[in-house]
Amino acid sequence: MEDVLALFDIDGTLVDTAGAGRDAIEIALVEIYGTAGPIDELSFAGLTDPYIARTLMQHAGLEDPEIELRFDALWDCYETNLSAILAERAHRARVHAGVLALLDALAVAGVAIGLVTGNIERGAQHKLAACGIADRFTFGSFGSDAENRDELPPIAIDRAQAKTGRDFHKRRTWIIGDTPRDIRCARAAGIRALAVGTGSFTAPQLRNAGADHALDTLADTIAVMRVLGDESRMDARGARFAP
Ligand SMILES: [Mg+2]
C-alpha cells in the first residue's frame, strides 16, 4: 500500500484530550482580548483554531485588524496554557481505541501517514505528545497554515510528496476525520473521506454528510486497512477504478 496516503484529523479521531484545547483557548482569549466571547455557544468540531478565535472575537464586537494584531500573543498564551492543562490532565488524555494498532499496521504496509488538523501546529504537537503518538507523524497541515479547513489538504499532500518523494493519486489519498467539515475538506480537494464516529457525530450522520466510508471506531484494524487499500480503487458509487 505504498501508494496510499492517510491524512488524520486529531481531536475526536486519533485522541481525546478531555477538553484541554477548548479550555486553553478560553483562558488565552480572556488573557489577550479580555473576553472569550460566546464560547459556550460555539461547537469547535472541525473548525481551525484561528477560525474559532476570529469568530468568537467578532461576536465580542472586535474588528478584524484588532483581532489579527494579537494573534501571535494569543497563540503563545494558548500554547503555554495547553501544555499546562495537558500536564494536569495527563491521566485523562487518551488515544482512541485501535489507533495505535492501526498506525503500526499502516507503517508496516508502507502507507504514508500525515495530519490534516484545525489545531495550530504547536498545539497539535502538544496534544499528540500528551498521548504518546507525536513521533508517528512527520508531516501534515495545520490551522496555523490556513484558517479555512478546505485549504488544508493540498498543503498536506504537497508536504507528503516532498517528505516521501512519492506521488499520491487523489483516489488513493484519504482524509480520516470525525466531522462533516473533515468530509467537506476532502471533497474540496477531490480526495476520499473515511469518517469515524468517535467524536461528536455518529457514523450514520457522517455517512449522510457524504463520507465515502464511515466506521463507528478505528478499532477494527483489518476493516480500516481494507477501506484504505482495496476500496480506494472504487469511487463513491462503487465503480472500480483501474488499479
Ligand atoms: Mg476532529
Domains of the chain, first to last: 5-16+93-233 (3.40.50.1000), 20-88 (1.10.150.240)
Residues whose CB is less than 8 angstroms from the CB of residue 137 and which lie 6 or more positions away in sequence, other chains included: 8, 113, 114, 115, 128
- Give residue 18 CA to ligand 1 midpoint distance, Å: 13
Q: pLDDT tens, 54-70?
A: 999 999 999 999 999 99
Q: pLDDT tens, 146-192?
A: 999 999 999 999 999 999 999 999 999 999 999 999 999 999 999 99
Give the pTM. 0.93
Q: What angle (nearest 5°) sits at the alpha carbon of residue 241, between those of residues 235 and 242?
A: 170
Residue with cell 472504487: 234
Longest dimension (CA), the chain: 57
Q: pLDDT tens, 108-124?
A: 999 999 999 999 999 99
- Give residue 194 CA to ligand 1 midpoint distance, Å: 12
**Number of Cβ within a 10 Å radius of residue 87:** 12
- Give residue 242 CA to ligand 1 midpoint distance, Å: 32
CA 137 to chain centre: 12
- Give residue 22 CA to ligand 1 midpoint distance, Å: 12
- Give residue 201 CA to ligand 1 midpoint distance, Å: 10
Q: pLDDT tens, 72-121?
A: 999 999 999 999 999 999 889 999 999 999 999 999 999 999 999 999 99
- Give residue 20 CA to ligand 1 midpoint distance, Å: 14
